Structure formats: structure tokens, C-alpha cells
A = this chain, B = another copy of it.
Amino acid sequence: MAGIADVARSAGVSKSTASRALTGSGYVSDETRARVRAAASALGYVPTMWAVSLATGRTNTVGVMVPSLDRWFFASVVEGIQSALLTDGYDLVLCCAPPGSDSRRRMFAHSLARKRFDGLIAVGVEPDETEREQLAAFARPIVSVGHDGGAMSISIDDRAAARIATEHLLGLGHTDVVILGGDPDGRRTSVGDGERLLGYRSAMTDAGLGAAARHIPCEVSLPGGYGAAVEMLADRRTRPSALVGVCDEVAVGAMIAARRLGVRVPEHLSVVGIDDHSYADMFALTTLQQRPDEQGRTAARLLLDMLAGEVAPPRHLLEAPRLVVRNSTAAVSDAASAIVGASRRRT
């Protein structure tokens, strides 16, 4: 195969000029650039970067698909992936688009089909039927973060997290414990949040409180938790003594609502979240900790191993959640019982 020296000789320029003309770095006149490119083309010369790609079939890039960046969890996972890929000299091609969007269809139809990356990390993607086929056609290594799809995936043990959160409240003597967040019928609830609802229900059932289990639906975000909690807490008849937020953002929203209404946390209301969001500490929120940046790093390392030819058996890695007790939970108090007691819906 022709080298840069051959191209330079054929075009009648120096090696450094030939290199500048082909890589686009530094000044070269249009006429010289055209002459060098013609020589390169005639000789079948391939600049190093593409030569490497051609020889190995590799692009040295990894695609990362994510529905949104303006959420603590997704942003932290992507930061973790980035740091692991940088260490190995891989570029991260970002594909950020919400489900159902034109951008998302374009990503699946074009970016995946063009195979511009060696492997893919799908973060919270939860593909539909068509997307599942497109992922299969991609035919390169895929690792998912969150539940789904991929043969290889990483997530927190969502069911255990909600179970531990609920048991913490039950252990403190609470019996009127609700879970806040997600859809009324669960159809648009993410698989992970669905698992959390199941974990809550199983803890309530095992404690003989299955009939008292209550799910308060709301958008899974801080404003979503705030709105639903204002409504629930403002009415003494629906006010529980404790709540589990389906994630910290929802739990923090509920705490802000409680403060606004003068409902004291934890004296009158105990609150547990799931995540250990960057705001959890400020709100002294008791929560189940997961480390999304670590999940991102692990996903990247798994993918790099697969790209290096290490064949790992399909598996779903579960990060064990850790209970971090702060100041938002307390033993059920007579005060709380007194407030709720008289008008409790279920006795």
C-alpha cells in the first residue's frame, strides 16, 4: 500500500505538505490540496486513522444512547462511561433522544444502521419491538444500564431497594406507608420503577399490610413529587405517616411540599427516597444509595472487554442498594398518629 512519501513524490510536494493537505490541519492552498488528494486517490493511499480502521474493522468509538441528559441519573451514568472510555482512548458518540421522538427514530434507523461505532451502551433505553430488531441487526456488542433488552446489563436491585426502604419505615412503627411516583396504570412507568413498586408491595404484604398499600401516581421528577404531595398532604384524610419516593427527586419534591404546608419531617411525616441523588444530603434525606457513575464505568469496562474479544456469559449485574439513614425518618410518633388518626381511611 502506498505511503505518505509516495503521495508527496507523486504530487511534487514535501511530506509535511502532503500530510497537511490530507488531514486538513494547517495551511495548504486549494490547488495543492486538490493535487495531493488526486495523487492519494490514484495511489490508493489511506491516511493513518482510516488505515487503522480499515485494518481492524474498528472505529474506536462507542455509541451511548440515553433518553435525556437533564436528569441526575442519566448525566451521572454518562459521566462514568466517559471517564472509562477516555482512559482507553475510545471516543464517545452521544445519541440523546427521548422515546417516541423523531430524533430517536433517526438514531435507530441511521446511527445504528451506519455502524459508526464498535459497540453500544444503552442507558435507560427500554426499546420497543422495532427498536429491538434494529438493535439485533446492529450485531455488535451491547451493554445496557437499567433493565432491558441487552444480554449484558447493569442496574441497581430496584426491587430490593424499595423493599428495604419500606421495611425501614415499618420497623419504625409506621403502618400507613404510601409509595409516590409513576403512572396510575403503570403503562408508561419504567421497568426499574415498576420493580420498585413491586418491592414496596411485597414488603407491605409480608407485614400483613397488603390491603393498606397505596400507590400515589405522579410524574417521576422533583416537580412531579411536589405537586402530588401538596395534594395528598393538604388533606388530613389522605395524609400518611410515612412515604417512600420512587426516587429521590420525587421524595425531595414531597419534602418541599411538606415544608410548605407546615407538615414537619420527620416528626409528622417520615420520607425515604431511592438513589442518593446529589441533593439528598442537603435535605437530610434517608435513602437507598446507588452509584450511577460507577454503573457507567462498569458498563464501559464490560463493553471494552467484549471488544477485546473476551467472551463473557450473558448476565444482569445488580448493584446492591445501601441504606443511608439521615434525618427524614423517625419512629412513628403520637403526634403523627393524632393528626392522622381520627380521619384515617383504613383502620
Contacts and interface: CB of A to CB of B under 8 A. Distances in A.
Interface of A: 1-2, 22-26, 37, 40-41, 43-44, 46-47, 49-50, 53-55, 57, 61, 64, 68-72, 75-76, 78-79, 82-83, 86-87, 89, 91-97, 103, 106-107, 110-111, 114-116, 137-140, 222-223, 226-227, 253, 256, 259-260, 278-279, 281-282
Nearest to A71: B75
A78 B97 contact: no
A3 B87 CA distance: 37
B53 A82 contact: no
A114 B23 CA distance: 9
A27 B226 CA distance: 52
B94 A24 contact: no
A93 B96 contact: no
B61 A86 contact: no
Contact of A86 (B22, B107, B226, B253): B107
22 contacts: A1-B44, A2-B44, A25-B138, A25-B139, A40-B54, A46-B46, A47-B54, A49-B114, A61-B93, A69-B75, A70-B76, A78-B94, A78-B96, A82-B96, A82-B97, A86-B103, A87-B106, A91-B116, A93-B94, A223-B282, A253-B282, A256-B259
A79 B57 contact: no
A90 to B, nearest CB: 10
A92 B91 contact: no
Contact of A282 (B24, B40, B46, B226): B226
Contact of A259 (B76, B86, B103, B259): B259
B94 A94 contact: yes
Contact of A57 (B23, B116, B279): B23
Given A41-B55, A55-B41, A140-B24, A94 B70 contact: no
Nearest to A93: B91
A281 B49 CA distance: 49
A125 to B, nearest CB: 15
Nearest to A107: B86
Question: What are the 4 closest A-B residue pairs judged by CB atoms, nearest first?
Answer: A44-B44, A69-B75, A70-B75, A223-B282
Contact of A70 (B79, B103, B140, B260): B79
A244 to B, nearest CB: 21
Given A26-B139, A70-B79, 7 more contacts: A37-B55, A69-B75, A82-B103, A86-B106, A92-B94, A223-B279, A253-B282
Given A26-B139, A47-B54, A110 B96 contact: no
Nearest to A44: B44
Contacts of A57: 22-24, 37
Contacts of A78: 69, 94, 96
Contact of A79 (B49, B69, B227): B69
A279 B93 contact: no
A116 B49 contact: yes
Contacts of A278: 70, 223
Contacts of A61: 93
A68 to B, nearest CB: 7
B115 A23 contact: yes
Q: Which interface residue of A23, A72, A94, A140 has the most chain B CB atoms within 10 A? A: A94
Contact of A72 (B70, B95, B115): B70
